[in-house]
A and B are shown apart, each in its own frame.
Chain A
């Protein structure tokens, strides 16, 4: 699993250990992002099969837990399958946002940006939509780690600045990330 993976698959093997055929009557998932495929519905005694779950990652990140309920005609209680996927962040910002309280000293704040891909990723452009919060970018480990320094002109008034970080990765559709800075 990488930060750019688009899908995660898991297979759940099963065997009919009973004396009579068992039919799978319904499969439902906890999220529209997860589908489950089954070769056929009815399994004879001793017969094995597998349910293949496909999780469409989209913009998700971090630990994702998705469940699939399987109902059969031999039990009123569905079997719950759990699929856990750890999706690395392509760009991990620590902290994820910065905030100053109104009236405090407008000290600089530092945000460390770490690349979660195996390849080098470059932050090609950094912009703020509010000139009252200035931002400086420093590459501390080429293609891997960056240091952002933010400082407001003043903390007298509440404000928000949206910092846009453009990257060169992936090449076909480079990702953009956002960091909010608040005075509140």
Chain B
């Protein structure tokens, strides 16, 4: 004798799958400008390049790379601030910052840690609230300019 329970469960599963396909199709039709499936996820405190560019020079841009790299090329208006010479560089940053002004910190690439370290110190030691790190850093900026 064959039990009917597995067959009922199978039918329910198929019903649920059909329902999810119908709902997903409806969502796609109602939200044509939905984000792409492969949209990169931002880590906490990160800002995407397109959003950062939209903010533009209303933000205070901080270059956390070593001084030699900063001198060789930088995002326009960015101030140098890295942990090699924190005490020497922080004063200029504080002179340019005002409450409510966003701060965007970048370093060489997505792999570097310097922008995160500088951003953390600006939050923890200076009480700055809107401090972001640029996803992809200088590398992403350069790629966008090409």
Contact = CB atoms under 8 A, between A and B. Distances in A.
B84 A158 contact: no
A32 B87 CA distance: 18
Interface bracket on B: 20 to 34
Interface bracket on A: 20 to 34
B83 A59 contact: yes
Given A58-B86, A59-B86, A96-B125, A178 B99 contact: no
A97 B94 CA distance: 13
B90 interface: yes
A25 interface: no
Nearest to A183: B99
Which of B83, B85, B88, B95 has the most chain A CB atoms closer than 10 A to its own CB? Answer: B83
A180 B83 contact: no
Contacts of B83: 33, 58-60
Contacts of A59: 83-88
Contacts of A99: 127
Contact of B84 (A58, A93, A177, A182): A58
Interface string B114-128: 100000000011110
Which of A32, A99, A162 has the most chain B CB atoms closer than 10 A to its own CB? Answer: A32
Nearest to A30: B113
A184 B82 CA distance: 27
B87 A175 contact: yes
A31 B100 contact: no
A97 B127 contact: yes
B91 interface: yes
Contacts of B91: 176, 178
B12 interface: no
Given A59-B84, A59-B85, A93-B125, 15 more contacts: A30-B113, A31-B113, A31-B114, A33-B84, A58-B82, A58-B84, A59-B86, A96-B127, A97-B127, A162-B94, A162-B95, A175-B87, A177-B87, A180-B126, A184-B99
Interface of B: 66, 82-88, 90-91, 94-95, 97-100, 113-114, 124-127, 129
